[in-house]
Amino acid sequence: MSFPLALPCSDLVNNNADAVIVIAADVHDLQDERLNTAVAPYLAIDARIASKATLLLADELPGKRLIISPTGPLNRDYDDVRRVFDAAKSAINEAKAAGCKAPTLQVVGMPQDERYQNALQVAYLGACQALWQPLEAREYRGQSIEPVTQISLVGASEALCKQLNAMAAGQYAARDLCGTEPERMAPPKFADYCVELFNNTGVSVEVISDINTIEKQYPMLGTVARASYAVERHHPRVIKLEYTPSGEVNRTLMFVGKGLVYDTGGADLKVGGFMAGMSRDKGGAASVAGFMKAVADYQPNGVKVIAYLAVVRNSIGSDCFVPDEIITCREGLKVRIGNTDAEGRLAMGDLLSEMKDLAKSEVNPELFTVATLTGHAARAVGPYSAYVENGPARAASVSRQLADIGDLWADGAELSRSRREDYDFVKPRTLADDVLSSNNAPSAVTARGHQFPMAFLAIVGGLDKHGCDSELPLPYVHMDIAGSGVEGGDWQHGKPTAATVSSLFARYCI
């Protein structure tokens, strides 16, 4: 793992640096006479400096390189810190193209507005996002395709850099797991990556590989995996991760991540080009594993974290499951299959049921499912994560707090309500079944297409019995990252974003 380390720095003139990057709200006032003097001759002849990242010759600065990257407007109601994130991506790409390996980074001219309180941190994370290259590309071409080894942050402390390096390590791992092609990251290799990732850390790893065990304990996941059994390298894995702090536990975070290493759609085959990019359908499990990596590196006090990853391939074949099948889930309910392309909720459902049982004995538990679940989420909220919460989570403002913090870390989300229509949508239609997995139309053209799956998960996970009116309310949030999981919504070629990692880390670990 070779993400650029964040290093504390007190001044621009850093002997370890080979360039200076300045992210600026106003390129005409860089709030440092050395910088203003260096950029003035260029501003006099090139108006483009105010609108795009530009590399300038600066004899007095490290490496004689100055890269100015303007953010654009910041004061309008709809502006946010992603402008800093994007400016940093542009700047680091210029630095990399110029041959820089160890730049210094400074952010100047930010408004006195809480929206930009983490501007320096976000700029660093934006640079890391731009620099990441796919795992298989690094293995093929060598680590030299990621040449930037460190970024010195002007004004950052050792403590802040420790936080940022943990976040960056987690995001890097999440991108690797999400963005790697389906054979290189088939379920067994996904598990191998996790075992190596958490080797010699405070996170324990258990991998369940036995098919009979999976089918008995997680029958819905086994159903999704059924057509993959003919190919040994595609066999499913259930990965269990756990971090326990050294001191008192004040809160327990409990995650189930969707790890569909490839989703053909199954019998409801994806056609018309819609299968391309479905190696990224493991983005939920990837982000959960990434968050666990950040936790492992930072070792926060007071918070215990447990994660189950459902890692499986939804294949097409003579033994694939089909619509109209009825499956008995871990909770003992009869689940009628509505569409085999709605497989992620099946893969996660029994793991959520087991997690719910475990939560009954944990301290202040909060449960989450994280998944690239529906096209509807991407259609409804665009490049944001969609959080759908149950009553106890809403009462505790779990999603609201996460979304508000996400806005400060360039990791935005929109909140969705769970409604009675969602539960009505999955109600049984006959006496032969207890719950319907989905309808048979694409989620993107289905009303409440990203909300009703949360109702299904709550039912098959047994969380519908732990609402506000129960003896043991359990907060539960379903996080659909189908819109936020890759850059530009380009599931075939866009870089994975590691959505939710920074929000979760900033909310619970700092």
> Can you give the CATH number for the domain in which 146 is found?
3.40.220.10
Segment (H or E) for 162: helix 158-179
Q: How many domains would you assign to the chain?
A: 2
Q: Cα(33)–Cα(379) distance, rounded to whole angstroms?
A: 47
Q: Count other C-beta atoms under 10 Å from residue 444's C-beta.
A: 15
Q: Which of 89, 237, 270, 394 is catalytic?
A: 270
Angle separating helix axes 158-179 and 501-508, nearest 10 degrees: 140
Q: Cα(231)–Cα(343) distance, rounded to whole angstroms?
A: 19
Angle separating helix axes 501-508 and 283-298, nearest 10 degrees: 40
Q: Are 290 and 210 in contact (CB under 8 A)?
A: no
- What's the chain's average pLDDT? 97
Q: Are 286 and 259 in contact (CB under 8 A)?
A: yes
Instruction: Examine the domain organization and report whether 126 and 217 are in the same domain.
Output: no
Domain final position from 154, 187, 220: 154
Domain final position from 121, 154, 187: 154
13: pLDDT confidence band, cut at 50, 70 and 90?
A: confident
464 pLDDT above the threshold of 70: yes
Residue of 488, 482, 438, 502 whose CA lies nearest to 281: 482
pLDDT of 153 reads: 97
The mean pLDDT value for 148-156 works out to: 97
Q: Cα(421)–Cα(238) distance, rounded to whole angstroms?
A: 32
362 pLDDT above the threshold of 80: yes
Residue 345 appears among annotated catalytic residues: yes
> Does residue 21 lie in a domain region?
yes
15 pLDDT above the threshold of 90: no
pLDDT of 447 reads: 94
Q: Cα(323)–Cα(340) distance, rounded to whole angstroms?
A: 6
Instruction: Examine the domain organization and report whether 43 and 189 are in the same domain.
Output: no
Q: Which of 89, 96, 282, 345 is catalytic?
A: 345
Instruction: Examine the domain organization and report whether 186 and 99 are in the same domain.
Output: no
> Does residue 133 lie in a domain region?
yes
Pairing of strands 103-108, 150-154: parallel
Domain of 216, CATH number, reads 3.40.630.10
> Does residue 160 lie in a domain region?
no
Q: Count other C-beta atoms under 10 Å from residue 325's C-beta.
A: 13
**Is the Cα dihedral 249, 290, 367, 306 positive or negative?**
negative
Beta bridge partners of 65: 57
478 pLDDT above the threshold of 80: yes
Q: Are 152 and 8 in contact (CB under 8 A)?
A: yes
Beta-carbon contacts of 499 under 8 Å, excluding residues fewer than 6 positions away, are: 283, 287, 385, 411, 481, 484, 485
Q: Are 91 and 23 in contact (CB under 8 A)?
A: yes
Q: Cα(37)–Cα(33) distance, rounded to whole angstroms?
A: 6
C-alpha of 66 from chain center: 32
Tokens matching residue 174 = 């999440």
Instruction: Examine the domain organization and report whether 79 and 106 are in the same domain.
Output: yes
- Residues 204-263 have pLDDT tens digits of 999 999 999 999 999 999 999 999 999 999 999 999 999 999 999 999 999 999 999 999
Domain final position from 154, 185, 205: 154
- Domain extent for 139: 5-154
The mean pLDDT value for 376-385 works out to: 96
Tokens matching residue 114 = 């809480």
Instruction: Examine the domain organization and report whether 137 and 212 are in the same domain.
Output: no
- Residues 92-118 have pLDDT tens digits of 999 999 999 999 999 999 999 999 999
Q: Cα(16)–Cα(5) distance, rounded to whole angstroms?
A: 13
% of the chain exceeding 70 in pLDDT: 100
Instruction: Examine the domain organization and report whether 466 and 420 are in the same domain.
Output: yes
Residue of 64, 74, 63, 61 whose CA lies nearest to 23: 74
1: pLDDT confidence band, cut at 50, 70 and 90?
A: low
Instruction: Examine the domain organization and report whether 181 and 100 are in the same domain.
Output: no
Instruction: Examine the domain organization and report whether 472 and 394 are in the same domain.
Output: yes
442 pLDDT above the threshold of 90: no
pLDDT of 267 reads: 97
Give the pTM. Answer: 0.97
C-alpha of 441 from chain center: 27
> Does residue 66 lie in a domain region?
yes
The mean pLDDT value for 379-402 works out to: 98
Main-chain phi, psi angles of 5, to 5 degrees: -70, 135
